[in-house]
Amino acid sequence: MFLQLDHVTIRYPGSASQHPAVDQVSLTLNAGEIGVLIGPSGCGKTSLLRAIAGLERIQGGRILIAGQVLSAATPDATVHLAPERRQIGMVFQDYALFPHLNVHDNVAFGLPKMDKAQRSARVAQMLALVGLAGMERRYAHQLSGGQQQRVALARALAPQPRLLLLDEPFSNLDVDLRERLAHELRNILKQTSTTALFVTHDQMEAFAVGDLIGVMNHGRLEQWDDAYHLYHRPATRFVADFIGHGVFAPARIVESVHGPVVRTPLGDLTDLEECPLPTAYPDGECEVLLRADDIVHDDASPVKARIERKAFRGSEFLYTLRLESGEQVLAHVPSHHDHALGEWIGIRPDVDHVVTFPKETAG
């Protein structure tokens, strides 16, 4: 492994909250991998990134790159390597280009001692990489927001950092551009074999960029996994709720002649690979995660649901449905099936990965 975070804890001095901003976070990234941290506002993403950069001290745990301890706050050692000695690059949300320097000088800014020709060659190479060849003489105010972020990326990559940290770099840009830049960023990082950690609150961006994605909540890292497993095998209820569209429905795991089944308001779910046994919950009672893409519109199905809300999403609608039993479920339905609000439609579950959690206790 290349980047290693080991029970990293950050507490802000004088902070009214007893709760640490970052609470014992452990994760690893191999060289060349791209990690993404997502989570709601205030969950500690930026604090963790700043600690890795050396801009924040940690109060517990260790941060290592290639075996070298950058920060430590353990009973055995206290270490805090200065930010400029970490060889880590950063790209922030606000473009932060020097307004009085042109693009060439901005990109050349962090380059170690090189002769002039070498410097200019490196700048040209970086600008070509980010799709801005020939823009050397422009100033920040002559560039669009997307172009400015590309320059910021070129500047951060030019000194060949050991690790690149990106904190919501596209959040000031419009949605279409963000999506394009997220794919471009991934290509650029892979082309240059750069190890990177990227912070966003946008799931689609996280899925587009990351090899590994971490979901944070209240300072804790709830799961560190690839996109497929986050979606299909969420480790916690919070992750299941945060990623994708879905609801939790009351269910019961029971033993049938064909093995265990999960009894739900939509009927029995079978094929319970990797699902807990009935004995995992008191009386087998639990809640099952039903994602919008687990529910199929099928007029022949005996299970009917009333359309309460619908949102057009291009190729499909996201329907909010109410079952006769009172439960609410969500369903993705191809948009050529345009039913009216209040209409009853047939639905059936088509769940590939059955995910259950303990029943949420009231209060």
Ligand X SMILES: Nc1ncnc2c1ncn2[C@@H]1O[C@H](COP(=O)(O)OP(=O)(O)OP(=O)(O)O)[C@@H](O)[C@H]1O
To ligand X, the closest distance from the beta carbon of 281 in angstroms equals 32
Give the up-direction half-sphere exposure of residue 52: CA atoms within 13 A in the CB hemisphere.
31
Q: Which is nearer to ligand X, 39 or 265 (CB)?
A: 39
Q: Which is nearer to ligand X, 182 or 275 (CB)?
A: 182
To ligand X, the closest distance from the beta carbon of 46 in angstroms equals 3
Residue 267 interacts with ligand X (CB under 6 A): yes or no:
no
Q: Which is nearer to ligand X, 48 or 272 (CB)?
A: 48
Q: Which residues from 298-327 bind ligand X, rule CB under 6 A?
A: none
Q: Which is nearer to ligand X, 201 or 306 (CB)?
A: 201
To ligand X, the closest distance from the beta carbon of 47 in angstroms equals 3
Residue 213 interacts with ligand X (CB under 6 A): yes or no:
no
To ligand X, the closest distance from the beta carbon of 134 in angstroms equals 35
Q: Which is nearer to ligand X, 214 or 284 (CB)?
A: 214
Q: Which is nearer to ligand X, 46 or 203 (CB)?
A: 46
Q: Whole-angstrom Cα distance, residue 48 to residue 43?
A: 10
SS3 content of the chain, % helix, strand, coil (to 5): 25, 35, 40
To ligand X, the closest distance from the beta carbon of 220 in angstroms equals 12
Query: Which helix (H) or strand (E) element contains residue 230?
Result: helix 227-232
To ligand X, the closest distance from the beta carbon of 176 in angstroms equals 22
To ligand X, the closest distance from the beta carbon of 209 in angstroms equals 16
To ligand X, the closest distance from the beta carbon of 254 in angstroms equals 41
Coil, strand or helix at 92: coil
Look up residue 109 and give its amino acid. F
Q: Could you give phi then psi for residue 287, rounded to 5 degrees?
A: -125, 145
Q: Which is nearer to ligand X, 19 or 313 (CB)?
A: 19
- Across the beta sheet with 88-91, what order do the strands follow? 88-91, 163-167, 196-199, 34-38, 212-217, 220-225
Q: Which is nearer to ligand X, 47 or 149 (CB)?
A: 47
Q: Which residues from 192-211 bind ligand X, rule CB under 6 A?
A: 201
Residue 21 interacts with ligand X (CB under 6 A): yes or no:
yes
Size of the site for ligand X (CB under 6 A): 12
In order of 30, 192, 242, 279, 294, the CA distances from 246 in angstroms are 32, 38, 9, 25, 9
Q: Whole-angstrom Cα distance, residue 27 to residue 121?
A: 37
**Burial track 183-222 (b if 16+ CB lie within 10 A, e otherwise):** ebbbebbeeeebbbbbbbebbebbbbbbbbbbbbbbbbbb
Longest dimension (CA), the chain: 78
Q: Which residues from 25-84 bind ligand X, rule CB under 6 A?
A: 39, 41-47
Coil, strand or helix at 173: coil
Q: Which residues bind ligand X (CB under 6 A)?
A: 12, 15, 21, 39, 41-47, 201
